[in-house]
Amino acid sequence: MRYFAALGLGLLLVGQSAVSWSAPVSEESTPKQVAYGAGSVLGTLVYSPFKASFCILGAIGSGLAFPFGAKRAERVVGTSCRGTWVITPNNLKGRERIEFLGHPPTVAAAAAPAPPKSTAKR
């Protein structure tokens, strides 16, 4: 019985081994990666308070714009609070843009079809 258990365990371990691909070699040296990481932390520490202040002012402005329509108020707060909040190494390398002003939601999300209205009379 012991031999069958050992054989079963051995087959189980061999059956689960698989070929895997190695990760691609990094394009940058370790000091460059450390420098970009430190730069992103420092950049975030400087940038985030400005972004937070702008978002708070946008929320106040949204409250003032609300009497002119909820959609307008939503656009004001959305523009001020959306966008980039954290500076990443990809931002510093130029691979991603830093967007201080946010964009409104996509047209597809905003133009979602409304539920059908009932035509039955009461």
pTM above the 0.85 mark? no
According to the model, what pLDDT value does residue 16 have?
A: 62
According to the model, what pLDDT value does residue 19 have?
A: 57
CA angle 21, 24, 26 (to 5 degrees): 155
Within 13 Å of residue 93, how many CA atoms lie on the same side as its CB? 13
Which residue pairs from 116-121 have beta carbons closer than 8 angstroms and sit at least 24 positions apart in sequence? Answer: none
- Give the pLDDT means over successive 10-residue stretches in the chain (122 positions): 70 58 67 93 95 94 90 88 92 91 64 57 52
CA of residue 76 relative to chain centroid, distance: 21
**For 1-122, where are the E strands, in sequence order?**
none
The secondary element (H helix, E strand) that includes residue 40 is: helix 30-65
If phi > 0 it is left, if psi is from -120 to 50 it is alpha, else beta; for residue 20 that is: beta
Maximum C-alpha span of the chain: 82
Structure token pair of residue 16: 């689960």
Structure token pair of residue 109: 């999300």
